[in-house]
Amino acid sequence: MRLILNAVEKTIESSTLLLPPSLSWLRSTAPGFGVNGDNITVLQKPDDFYNNLIHLCQNARRRISLASLYLGTGQLEEKLVDILSDRLNELGESLEVNILLDANRGSRGDRNSRTMLTPLIKTHPHCKVSMFHTPALRGLLRYVLPTRYNELIGLQHMKLYLFDDTVIVSGANLSTDYFTNRQDRYVIIKSQELADFYYGYIQKVSSVSLLLNEENKLISQSSSHHPFLAPKNAYVECAQKRIWGYFQSELEKPKVEKQTDDTLIFPLFELPPFGIHQDSIATQRIIELADQKSTLNLATGYFNLTETLKNSILFRSQAQFRILMAHPMANSFFKAPGLAGGIPSVYTNIALSFISLANKCKQAHRIRLFEYQKPGWTFHSKGLWQNLEDNRMLTLVGSSNYGARSVNRDLESQIVIITANEKLKASLSNEQKQLFEVGIPFSNEVVLQPDRNPPLWTKAFSWLFKGFF
């Protein structure tokens, strides 16, 4: 008995040492999952992401749970759906399949996520496709806003892909460009405990979402808690209790980390429609606690930091910052028709405003901005990398872009990884290096280039509609 107690004490002691004192608050913020870093793989290429999705789908035996903004309609997406169907044909109801998408984005166009998945539901009725609809889009606004523009109000933006006891945490959607030439981040984690947690979490969000039926109709799972027909307060209260009640119960569960665990994972979530801002608060605290010896490498596909995060970087943190964002040519809206074509210039305006503020506050010496530019590629990566004391490393990876949308409109999911595993640290460092090495320094002088001086209308546009980016 004494030997068992000694082993438990050593396990707790060794796992606690993984967490620096400055980050001990994470244990009361999110459930911590101990993992051996050898069970974590960092992917760097979109085609590796796709190939792993296919491989994991082909080999899943018990459960598949996919949470994404949308499912595309190309050949690669069709292959993924075909493999899902084949796996269901082979295993029947012993394989649980749950898919969570956004209702508005997944309904865009005549051919969309819904039409891609309806045949799967017809053939396999136990396959469940849920579509989250923000409660903020209701009443007259819902009928007035046309398709695509209704997505501005709020989205299901989490990207979590679960197969049995393996989870892929990413910022990438299930679409051809994310499988080919749209750069993002992808971390594969093998952990039954973490997979169980995310499986339950996705189920809770799905339970307050609309259900796609075999007739391609979105139906409510509860008439009293409909996202846009029921009273808003009643729906929000129900969703908050279900989702955050589940999270709190997981937080209160005792977590026993093995002595072989050299990595800790803390799931973070942002649920603005339900008044939950755990992710943004944790991110802000990590940034503010970084000392002057630290260098924080931050990436975002859409540079539009919240005022709170800007203040944290400029006035409350002493760290050095290297921030990577999309060059206009690496923005998915580059040369888009109509007003959308001006969106890259809007982000340039926002970046110019930030760098001007840094200069004005005499903080530019520790803050450098870079633009990702790789011919033929767009940029969608987001996250943070930091080397910690005692030879450890921290990274944030997930769906958040650290902007106004992430904090005020969309459902987001992110994880904190803190590791002492040498192999994993090397993989994360290499990932960060490869992303930043194609970054071009950004400064106020960029507007001297004829093709980079933002049109006047984009300045007014960015000021008026900044909260939607």
Which residues are known catalytic residues?
A: 157, 159, 164
Residue 24 CB neighbours (<10 A) = 10
Cα(51)–Cα(59) distance, integer angstroms: 12
Residues in the chain: 469
Q: Which two tokens stand for residue 203?
A: 């189920």
Alpha-carbon torsion angle 11, 16, 18, 21, nearest 10: -170
Helices within 292-448 (DSSP H only): 307-311, 343-360, 404-408, 422-436
Query: Among candidates 307, 324, 299, 297, which has minimal Cα distance to 398?
Result: 299
Look at phi and psi of residue 154 and say left if phi exceeds 0, alpha if psi is from -120 to 50, else beta: left
Q: Which helix (H) or strand (E) holds 161?
A: strand 160-163
Cα(107)–Cα(111) distance, integer angstroms: 8
Cα(261)–Cα(241) distance, integer angstroms: 32
Q: Which two tokens stand for residue 233?
A: 């307060």
Query: Among candidates 205, 43, 124, which has minimal Cα distance to 53?
Result: 43
| SS3 state at 163 | strand
Cα(177)–Cα(72) distance, integer angstroms: 9
Neighbouring-strand partners of residue 383: 299, 397
Positive or negative, the Cα torsion across 319, 320, 325, 328? positive
| SS3 state at 52 | helix
Instruction: Determine phi and psi for 267, rounding to 5 degrees.
Output: -75, 135
Query: Among candidates 252, 280, 128, 277, which has minimal Cα distance to 199?
Result: 128
Cα(276)–Cα(204) distance, integer angstroms: 15
For helices 113-123 and 75-91, angle between their N-to-C axes, nearest 10 degrees: 20
Neighbouring-strand partners of residue 395: 385, 417
